[in-house]
Amino acid sequence: MEFQITKKAKNLAFGLMGLGALLTIMGVALTASDHHFLTRFMASALISGFFFFALGLGSLFFLSLKYATETGWYAAVKRVIEAVAGFLPVGMVILGVVLLIITLADGAHIYTWMDPEVQAHDEIVRKKAPYLNKIFFWIRTLAYFTTYFLFWRGFRNRSLEEDRVGGTEIHFKNYKKGATFLVFFAVFSSTSAWDWIMSIDVHWFSTLFGWYTFAGMWCSTMVVLIMTTLYLKKLGHLPNVNDSHIHDLGKWAFATSFLWSYMWFSQFMLIWYANIGEEVVYFQLRIAEFKYLYFGMFIINFAFPMLILMSRDAKRNAGILVFVGLMILIGHWLDVYIMISAGALGANARIGALEIGMALLMAGVFIFVVLRNLTKAPLTPVNHPFLDESNHHEI
Amino acid sequence: MSDKVLYVMYDDDEVLKNSAKKLVAKGVKISEVFSPFPIHGIDPIIGVKNTRLGIMAFLYGLTGLTLATVGMRYFMIVDWPMNIGGKPNFSYLENMLAFVPISFEFTVMCAAHGMAITYLLRNKTLPGMPAQNPDPRTTDDKFVMEIRLSENHGVTEAELDGMLQEIGYLELDKKELK
């Protein structure tokens, strides 16, 4: 099709993979003698596995949101959204393998509730066992994966079919399927965050944890979509995407970073106010051990986008958007790191060669898969019913 | 200084936009457009400058944030130290979280009210002020373009009439200003 992966992009993707693999091996060599090694290795794999899986999932969510609301302006960037959502199958395989190894290692001290010894001695874990047990955990995980995959495949196939046949029948089908996906996603986004991340701090719980995780995922997805669109534009593709489309995507990044900050604050303030021992442990650990990282991460993810992206001109400026985008991506990766590593390793959590290596490795894979997805279909959906509206988008 | 104003009326915003485009292309300066609703995309055609309301909103918000912080610090910490959930009560910073929602609300309130009042003042449309539009029908279903001869030295009145005849309009009203 029209877009081909440039040599430079291929070098970047494979370079990142190579550098990541090298750092990972270095990290393994450095920490293999440590008795936390397995926990640290798997926690690190879970951080990057989940983070990049979430980019694909956030994109799928965003696509179905556009379908369910019958939005017009996004038609010109629809293939970008699809390409990022197309990382989902790869992301699911990687996250699935990571979860499988952790399960086979009886939780690897990450999911301590999987450990029979902990179950025998810990009354709270025993009481949670009807929900938090290996079999039900895998039933849920597979249910999430299957649902996400089926909806992703359906959206993609219908989108390619629409290019061939046109008409509005597919549009109305997408409308129904998009709304249906949102119903599933409303439940699954919460429960999957509880299963995969919140259960690391098994004694602790927070009802809005799922939305918090979801908001972080959505925000990182939006900046990835912006950066991919800007990259394609720079190469001279996407002629129909104008400043207004970029501006709208920028607004989404701005708004979702506020959504995330709002969730972060709501969770933090309510627990701080109530000051109940069993609830504050989560923040006590993170503030005692990772004070600068924890609040620094909040400042990166909140203050940066708020102050920089506030003005209209900034949301139309490619340089500023890419800068803020990279900051947000790093910020949200740190957020996931603190959620997972601090829970699994406590004071022993470090950002070392292992963590950075795996993140770069996954970033390389992610970039390659997304670019390859872009080559597989025309970059502008030919027969999208709202394409004309999108081409004349002006705000 | 005497001036002559032309009020050109249309009954469709798209038609008005097209006429405005043609007139501007011929070098005519349109000083104002009156319409019952905001016409999308008219600003760049008649050369309206970008609004500075956004900058004012930011400043009003900043004022609100400052007022809220100063106020709450005085009320809750200095003048009458409040016991906030048993937390250290002589420090604003350590009780910051409790003050964030109010700071946020007050920032939004000041920004919103400041913007609304500035807008009404700048447009001279505070309640009770005399109406500015030349024809009451522009608040219903008609659209009027205002062209001032004092702003168009390049064209004579007769030339303007000719152009308007060619482009077309619904009604043309002329008014001498003293």
Number of domains chain A contains? 1
Q: What is the mean pLDDT of chain A?
A: 93
DSSP code at position A316: G
pLDDT recorded at residue A288: 92
pLDDT recorded at residue B1: 52
The pTM for the full model equals: 0.90
In a domain, A394, yes or no: no
**Range scoring the smallest mean pLDDT among A153-157, A354-358, B20-24, B67-71:** B20-24
Which chain B residue has the Cα nearest residue A268?
Answer: B97
Query: In the structure, what pLDDT confidence band is assigned to residue A370 with cuts at 50, 70 and 90?
Result: very high
The share of chain A scoring above pLDDT 70, in percent, equals 100
pLDDT recorded at residue A91: 96
* DSSP conformation letters of B49-115: PPP-HHHHHHHHHHHHHHHHHHHHIIIIIIIS----TT--SS-TGGGHHHHHHHHHHHHHHHHHHHH
Task: Examine the pLDDT at A167 and tell me if it is beyond 80.
Answer: yes
Q: How far is CA B174 from CA A364, B19, B132, B160, in A?
A: 69, 18, 16, 12
Q: Which residues have a Cβ under 8 Å from the Cβ of A88 and sit 6 or more positions away?
A: A53, A56, A57, A59, A60, A148, A149, A152
CB B41 to CB A394 under 8 A? yes
Sign of the torsion formed by the C-alpha atoms of A122, A124, A127 and A130: negative
Query: In the structure, what pLDDT confidence band is assigned to residue A270 with cuts at 50, 70 and 90?
Result: very high
pLDDT recorded at residue B178: 67
In a domain, A165, yes or no: yes
Task: Summarize the confidence of residues A188-195 as an average pLDDT.
Answer: 95
pLDDT recorded at residue B177: 78
pLDDT recorded at residue A269: 92
Query: In the structure, what pLDDT confidence band is assigned to residue A296 with cuts at 50, 70 and 90?
Result: very high
Give A-chain residues touching B58 at CB under 8 angstroms. Answer: 310
Give me the domains of chain B, ranges plus CATH numbers: 3-49+142-177 (3.30.70.790), 53-122 (no CATH)
Inter-chain Cβ pairs, chain A and chain B, closer than 8 A: 20
In a domain, A261, yes or no: yes
pLDDT recorded at residue A77: 94
In a domain, A149, yes or no: yes
Instruction: Kindly state whether B81 is in contact with chain A, defined as any CB-CB distance less than 8 angstroms.
Output: no
Q: Residue A291 sits in which domain range?
A: 7-381
Tens digits of residue pLDDT in B41-82: 888 888 888 888 989 999 999 999 999 999 999 999 999 888
- In DSSP terms, B173 is beta-bridged to B7
Task: Examine the pLDDT at A187 and tell me if it is beyond 70.
Answer: yes
In a domain, A134, yes or no: yes
pLDDT recorded at residue A286: 93
In a domain, A306, yes or no: yes
Task: Examine the pLDDT at A191 and tell me if it is beyond 90.
Answer: yes
Tens digits of residue pLDDT in A30-52: 888 888 899 999 999 999 999 99
Which chain A residue has the Cα nearest residue B54?
Answer: A311
Task: Examine the pLDDT at B84 and tell me if it is beyond 80.
Answer: no
How close is the nearest chain B Cα to the Cα of A273, in Å?
Answer: 6
In a domain, A1, yes or no: no
Which chain A residue has the Cα nearest residue B87?
Answer: A273
Of the candidates B40, B41, B85, the beta carbon closest to that of A273 is on B85
